[in-house]
Amino acid sequence: MLYKLKTEALSGEEFQNPGCEYRGAPFWAWNCRLDQKQLLKQISYFKEMGMGGFHIHCRVGLDTGYMGREFLEDVKACKDEAKRQDLLCWLYDEDRWPSGSAGGMVTREQAYRSRFLVFQPENWTDAAEETPMSAAKAVRSNHNKLLARYEIKLDPKGYLISGRVLKPGEEGGNVWTASLEISGDTPWFNNQAYVNTLDKKAIDRFIELTHEVYYRELGKDFGGQIPAIFTDEPQTSHKEVLDTPFTYKPVILPFTDDFEDTFYKCFGISVLDHLPELIWELGEQKASQVRYLYHLHVCQRFSEAFGDNVGTWCSSHGIALTGHMMNEWTLHSQTMAAGEVMRPMKEFGLPGIDMLCDRRELSTAKQAQSVAHQYGREGVMSEIYGVTGWDFDFRNHKLAGDWQAALGVTVRVPHLTWASMEGEGKRDYPASIGYQSPWYKEYSYIENHFARLAAVLTRGMPGVRIGVIHPVESYWMYWGNQKQTAVIRQELEYNFSNVIDWMLYGLLDFDFISEALLSDGSKSLHGSREKFCMGEMNYEVVIVPGCHTLRSSTVDKLKEFAAHGGKVIFMGNIPRYVDAVESNAVVLLSQQCEKIQYSSPQLLEALKPWRDIDICVENTEGKDPTRMEHRENGLRSANMFYQLREEEERKWLFICHVNKPRNEHITHMEKWEIWVKGIYSPVVYDTLSGEIYDIHADYADQKTKIIYYGSQHDSLLLELKKEKQEEKKQQEKKQLEKPSLCYSWDKSVREKKDLPQPDSYRLTEPNVCLLDMAEYAFDDGEFMPEEEILRIDNLFRKELGYPLRMEALAQPWTQKEEEIPRHILKLRFTIDSETVVESAEIAMEHPENVRMEWNGEPINGADSGWFVDECIRKRKVGQIKKGKNQLVIHIPFQKKTNVEWCYLLGNFGVQVSGRMKKLIKMPGELHYGNFVNQGFPFYAGNMEYEVSVYSKEGRLCLETSHYRGALITVDLDGKRGGTIALAPYILDLGEVNEGWHRMTIRLYGNRINAFGAVHNADTQEEWYGPNLWRTTGNKWSYEYQLKEMGILTTPQYWIAEKETNDDEEL
């Protein structure tokens, strides 16, 4: 059990400072030659950041043998250090991802390699292979076995007339062949292949080489210090379709050696005899049951071989299986890579999700939450914040985490913290949520919020009364050529997305019901006949959302539920198939049930009796009279989610925003009118401060009404203590105990003043001039014109026949060291300066391995520390003279050499114009506004603005809403005043005497302009992956593409005099 205190009363002390089990445990990327001393040092950073532990996660750059003795000793040492610091050590089951090959060790044996069916025109000549990628997409090898030959006959519209199996040697027209092919090698799997996830024996071997090894070394801590092991993106070979029925090209489908046999055993028919039905349509309004059964069987084989197999091993060894499936989001994506994603998570102790690019994948979260609810799991894991870039700030950390918490996430796995920024590691999906970010010491502000939230939302039972049949199996029926099936698949996808949006944004929580899990009666353990029982959950109403087919087992359970008075609502079309065979059984059932159109108003009206929560939101600042209202939004919130937890004497209610404000700098206060079914005394649990206080409520129609004021990053956690209506007397109207600065001091708001300009400023790190462009020479060759460093690296690699550096590259630990590098790469940087700088430093990786010259003189100085990451070392250089300066670096070059940008550090300013840059005098003053344009274009640290302000006596308030950075903290007269990170960006600095006061406004920066993709010209790109640093064509720019940084507009301050608020609803 992870949450051992969840059944005990929650004390104020525990809420104020929750234990490690409630706190985030980031992916800790082991991505270098491991140094145990350095690893142990970094664990203290996790503690300082408010984390509860870490996931040991091997990633690009690992140069210590995976699962070897040294590696395992490092794991044990980190586990022991975590225990000493009261942290948890979470395991990860793979070298990179997806899980299953054990870094290629499993798939060295051909028997365990991924297989797939290739259906293609006879005598097809394969085209060139695509660039390797980090997924299980089929890698052609031509190591195949012919399964069957078919004569394909299509009608003029492209519908299948026949797909006869030809006898050996028999000729035919339009012949296609089906072959079972074993996956070829790919660098991503360390020049091996992905594993056969349809074969239990292959996954047994994976368990033997991974889980069993960890158990031998660490088993005594399983279920305690080591709560779970993370599995990442297990998947099948990706299913493909033809573009049109007349397209002439191969199609890949998941398959394995005994698939035909097990399919026949399950269904009594041959899948190979009917294989063309998986490719072509039988006719308009005609469905192939074999196609449906194929997808069902792939999902079942995958689930049994991987999720059930690994999950059962974990539970029998006292540890939870967590992690997530591949492609969870849409009906299309999960059909392609897994069949469906709920069924494979059946045996997960902590079902999980992956939320990349700050998306709002509501389906992904809701699917995992539903499995957790139905199987009585303690919570849901989220791999969160991945692929968001260096400039993802605290307000977005909170907003992204809040809506996921509302959808059940209790275990946060921030993506990611790097053990090292060496080589490709620094481009491995930043930012680093660790010591390399200049804001890391402030991160407990975020972690404490989510820890307090998890300490509450892991209690009791979920307050969910609505079940929704998941429509993915209907989608399987139409997995055919694009031209003939795309429209109906798009409609299913659109309906799937809509029903989720309508219910969640309409404040009607629900669970998905997987038909595969529903057909497994092992979890239908309890419940009354009037409730629709699915494992631990009992639903009072079930929605069938525009499905085209249902399983016969689902129909039987719906019939029984309806017969005993249960409510079944059919939305949109009524399914006319059962088990993908035409049937009127569901039509007959629907005549006993409620039928509604596929529309939001009808759905919300039909579910009105099951509404537990309603929230009306009003802009307290009124409407903008200069803007025309184009839509009628009504009063109900259109941007809030909730989670309701139920205990015997109380309920817990969490409410939060979901989507970002239209303009995150210009926000407003909102009045929330919250209605809860039932009579309760509400108590606020403030997750940012840890305070607990009562809040006033009114009562009407057996409901509790609560008024709360918040802004657009705010959330609210309430304890609802049960009360009896006859004992509950109307309380006197009174003010909220925690009034907001924005709405209760209107008079003082009118007296806002601009803060004076800073009279001084301070950098917390040296200023930076990025050295990313150089002339270059290979070996004894002539110097070539200036080029970007990463491009130079790959040019030399291409010339030498070395693997190019990019995301999909074999791990260094699999490559033998070259004893003596046989080649030299020379880089020549020219630095233009308008001023003399007496002292400066060069920061680069492994300066001890290179020879450097500054203005013709060798650089022989000792190591002078590190910059940003301990792998980036500093060396002092001579004087920077006025005019042109030259730095030459001679780099011994081999396959494992990392050629990276360098950094000139010192007491100077930098001016950038397009692609040109030059050093200038350090600016004597700094103004509010973008400091990139004020001499600090590449500066990567924090900026402190020093301001003297004269104030009257009273409560001093500061507003700083326009900023670019992670967050702001404010010191007043030498003492910490507080944090500004969330709307409305107002800080109460407390009571002050009249007179002058010294204010330090500290803008926490990020590394984007020093380490980001500064040559990427595609400003709309959201995938901040390694190859974004290597864009080409019109996505590349030699002109620097820099992001704004700093306090962008003048802050305002005022003295607040608290006024009486006569609002009757307070």
pLDDT at 60: 95
8 A C-beta contact, residue 324 and residue 304: no
The better pLDDT of the pair 1063, 856 is held by 856
The better pLDDT of the pair 628, 725 is held by 725
pLDDT tens for residues 201-216?
999 999 999 999 999 9
pLDDT tens for residues 68-91?
999 999 999 999 999 999 999 999
pLDDT tier, 739 (very low <50, low <70, confident <90, very high otherwise):
very low
Mean pLDDT of 897-903: 97
pLDDT at 740: 47
Domain topology for 754-764+925-1056? Jelly Rolls (2.60.120)
In the chain, the percentage of residues whose pLDDT exceeds 70 is 94
8 A C-beta contact, residue 305 and residue 199: yes
437: helix, strand or coil: coil
- Under DSSP, the state recorded for 812 is G
pLDDT tier, 1012 (very low <50, low <70, confident <90, very high otherwise):
very high
Interatomic CA distance for residues 523 and 933, integer angstroms: 62
pLDDT at 825: 98
Instruction: Tell me the two tokens of residue 109.
Output: 């044996």
Interatomic CA distance for residues 563 and 560, integer angstroms: 5
Chain centroid offset of residue 1024 CA: 12
The better pLDDT of the pair 577, 623 is held by 577
Residue 822 pLDDT > 80, yes or no? yes
8 A C-beta contact, residue 438 and residue 1005: yes
Residue 634 pLDDT > 70, yes or no? no
Class of domain 1-10+21-93+210-227+320-459: alpha beta
pLDDT at 130: 58
Query: 453-462, 561-570, 767-776, 816-825: which has the minimum mean pLDDT?
Result: 816-825
pLDDT at 127: 63
pLDDT tier, 258 (very low <50, low <70, confident <90, very high otherwise):
very high
Q: Do domains 754-764+925-1056 and 767-920 have the same CATH topology?
A: yes
Residue 742 pLDDT > 70, yes or no? no
Residue 624 pLDDT > 70, yes or no? no
pLDDT at 137: 78
Mean pLDDT of 241-253: 98
In the chain, the percentage of residues whose pLDDT exceeds 90 is 90
Nearest to 497 by CA among 468, 531, 520, 525: 468
Task: Determine the CATH number of domain 612-738.
Answer: 2.60.40
Residue 764 pLDDT > 50, yes or no? yes
pLDDT tens for residues 282-297?
999 899 999 999 999 9
Mean pLDDT of 669-697: 98
**Residue boundaries of the structural domains of the chain:** 1-10+21-93+210-227+320-459, 466-609, 612-738, 754-764+925-1056, 767-920
Residue 128 pLDDT > 60, yes or no? no
Residue 425 pLDDT > 80, yes or no? yes
Cβ within 8 Å of residue 383, ≥6 positions away: 27, 232, 324, 352, 353, 354, 355, 413, 415
8 A C-beta contact, residue 385 and residue 357: no
Nearest to 379 by CA among 403, 351, 401: 351
Cβ within 8 Å of residue 566, ≥6 positions away: 529, 530, 531, 532, 540, 541, 542
pLDDT tens for residues 1032-1043?
999 999 999 999
Q: Which helix (H) or strand (E) holds 92?
A: strand 88-92
pLDDT at 645: 99
User: What are the backbone angles phi and psi of residue 283, rounded to the nearest 5°?
Assistant: 150, 170
998: helix, strand or coil: strand
pLDDT tier, 530 (very low <50, low <70, confident <90, very high otherwise):
confident
Query: How many Cα atoms within 13 Å fall on the side-chain side of residue 476?
Result: 28
pLDDT tens for residues 908-935?
999 999 999 999 999 999 999 999 999 9
pLDDT at 737: 41
pLDDT at 1065: 39
Interatomic CA distance for residues 760 and 922, integer angstroms: 13
Helix extents (H) in 695-835: 746-749, 789-800
pLDDT at 1058: 58
User: What are the beta bridge partners of residue 902?
Assistant: 771
pLDDT at 253: 98
User: What are the beta bridge partners of residue 645?
Assistant: 462, 652
Instruction: Tell me the two tokens of residue 99.
Output: 């899980």
Residue 866 pLDDT > 70, yes or no? yes
Mean pLDDT of 16-40: 99
Residue 734 pLDDT > 60, yes or no? no
Using CA atoms, how far residue 842 sits from 427, 637, 767, 825, 886, in Å, is 21, 54, 12, 18, 12
pLDDT at 136: 73
pLDDT tier, 972 (very low <50, low <70, confident <90, very high otherwise):
very high
pLDDT at 525: 46
Cβ within 8 Å of residue 417, ≥6 positions away: 26, 27, 28, 29, 42, 46, 54, 432, 433, 434
208: helix, strand or coil: helix
pLDDT at 732: 37
Q: Which helix (H) or strand (E) holds 443?
A: none
pLDDT at 625: 54
**Average pLDDT in the chain:** 94
Residue 133 pLDDT > 70, yes or no? no
Tokens 């009757």 appear where?
1064
β-pairing, 144-154 vs 320-324, is unpaired
In CATH terms, is domain 767-920 a member of 1.20.120? no
pLDDT tier, 529 (very low <50, low <70, confident <90, very high otherwise):
confident
pLDDT tier, 807 (very low <50, low <70, confident <90, very high otherwise):
low
pLDDT at 126: 72
Tokens 């790109």 appear where?
1021
